[in-house]
Copies of this chain bind each other. A is one copy, B any other.
Amino acid sequence: MQRSMGILGTRWKPIIIYTLRDRKARFGQLDALIENISRKVLTSSLKELEEDGIILREEFKELPPRVEYALTEKGKALIPIMCQLAKWNEEYYEEPAALEL
């Protein structure tokens, strides 16, 4: 547990992983999809998650440049956990959907 938390125990990394649960995404897409994250934190988090073997960075030699991020197997193993966490969040913190009448 201690080791995991050394890797995941930040405000943004779980959100990045959650965002990649069902898609690859480019840097700019992640920046747009994740509200309020700064490009700087996104850059450094992606770098660290890659070092820790949780995401994969694929660079296409095109112009303009294209880089895609995706979860590795180790990262994919976190998907159910992140989804449960999102559900917990909704249950306790989000606006309930409009009541049916």
Provide the main secondary structure of the chain A interface.
Answer: helix
Chain A interface residue count, CB cutoff 8 Å, equals: 30
The answer to the question of A86 belonging to the interface, with a C-beta cut-off of 8 Å to chain B, is yes
Q: Which residues of B contact A84 (CB under 8 A)?
A: 80-81, 84
**A5-B86 Cα distance, complex, nearest whole Å:** 10
Q: From residue 12 to 37 of chain A, which have CB atoms closer than 8 A to chain B?
A: 12, 14-15, 18, 35-36
Q: Which residues of B contact A18 (CB under 8 A)?
A: 1
The answer to the question of A41 belonging to the interface, with a C-beta cut-off of 8 Å to chain B, is no
Beyond A4-B85, A84-B84: 7 further Cβ-contacts under 8 Å?
A1-B85, A2-B35, A4-B86, A5-B14, A6-B11, A9-B14, A77-B92
